[in-house]
A and B are shown apart, each in its own frame.
Chain A
Amino acid sequence: DTVLTQSPALAVSPGERVTISCRASESVSTRMHWYQQKPGQQPKLLIYGASNLESGVPARFSGSGSGTDFTLTIDPVEANDTATYFCQQSWNDPWTFGGGTKLELK
C-alpha cells in the first residue's frame, strides 16, 4: 500500500502562513487530495488533484506538488482553521490516507 506520511502537529499564530506536508512512499502523480476535519465532524474536501481548490473553500487554502511530495498551504491562518488535515491519494490501489496533521493556533 502507498504510505502517506504527515507531521503529527503544528502550532501557528493567526495571520501567519503555514505549510502542511505529505510525502508518499511511491509516486501518486497529481492524484493527491486534502481534507479538513474538525472535532466531532466529518472530513471536508479542500483541495483535489494536488492543486485544485474545491468550490466554496476560501482562497487562503492552496495545494501544490506532484510525484511523492505535496504541500497544503494556508495563508493567512485564521482562528477557525484549527483542525486536523489529511491527505489522500487515489493513484495506487488501495486509496490511502495520511495520518493527519493537527493544526493548533497559538
Chain B
Amino acid sequence: EVQLVESGGGLVQPGRSLKLSCAASGFTFSNYGMAWVRQTPTKGLEWVASISTGGGNTYYRDSVKGRFTISRDNAKNTQYLQMDSLRSEDTATYYCARHNTLNYFDYWGQGVMVTVSS
C-alpha cells in the first residue's frame, strides 16, 4: 500500500524558515517524481514544486522560486521542502504527492499545516 506521511509543519514567524519532510513507503521511491501541493480556503489547490526521480531536476511555481527548495533522499525514501523567507501567503496545508508520467498526482499524503504569523 502506497503511503506518504508528511511532518514538520507548524507556526512560524514571517521571514523565518521551516522544513517539511515526506516519508514514502509501499512503492519504489526512486522510480517516481515527487511534488508538493498546497491548499488554502481562498486560493484552493496550488502546485508548489516538483523533483525528478534522481533529484537532478527541480521545478517551482514563480511565487516560491528562490525561497523554497525541494530535495529528496532516495536511500531514506524521503522528500523534503525547505521553506525560507516565509510569508503570510504561504500559510496553507501542504501535501506531499507522487507524480505520474503525465504529471498528475496519483497518491497524496494526509497533509501538514503551515501557519506563517507573528
Contact = CB atoms under 8 A, between A and B. Distances in A.
A49 B102 contact: yes
B95 A42 contact: yes
Given A42-B95, A42-B111, A90 B44 contact: no
Contacts of A93: 59
Q: Is the interface of A mostly helix, strand, loop or mixed?
A: loop
B11 interface: no
Interface of A: 31, 33, 35, 41-45, 48-49, 54, 86, 88, 90, 93-100
Given A43-B95, A94-B47, A98-B44, 11 more contacts: A33-B104, A42-B110, A43-B108, A48-B106, A49-B102, A88-B104, A90-B102, A90-B103, A90-B104, A96-B47, A97-B46
Interface of B: 44-47, 59, 61-62, 95, 100, 102-111
